[in-house]
Amino acid sequence: RYNQFYGSIPKCLSSLLELKCLHIGDNRLTGTIPVALANLTELEWFSIAQNQL
């Protein structure tokens, strides 16, 4: 959160199969949410609020 990330959400995040929390809100992310993120079956928390998606 508040990392000053910009651009699109990297598809490579979908390879982090044990990821439990992804909080990338309050940045400058644009584009669409990669469909491959659906492979993150262990994900319990996903926040992308306050971006330009």
Residue 1 lies in a domain: no
Residue 42's pLDDT is 98
Residue 2's pLDDT is 75
DSSP 51: S
Residue 17 lies in a domain: yes
Burial-class residue 19 by CB neighbours within 10 Å (0-12, 13-18, 19+).
Answer: middle
Range(s) of the domain holding residue 34? 6-47
Residue 52 lies in a domain: no
Residues pairing with 23 in the sheet: 47
Task: For 2-32, write each residue's pLDDT tens digit.
Answer: 788 999 999 999 999 999 999 999 999 999 9
Residue type, 39: N
The Cα–Cα gap between 31 and 20 comes to: 23
Residue 30's pLDDT is 96
pLDDT band at 41 (very low <50, low <70, confident <90, very high): very high
Residue 3's pLDDT is 86
The Cα–Cα gap between 14 and 50 comes to: 21
Residue 46's pLDDT is 95
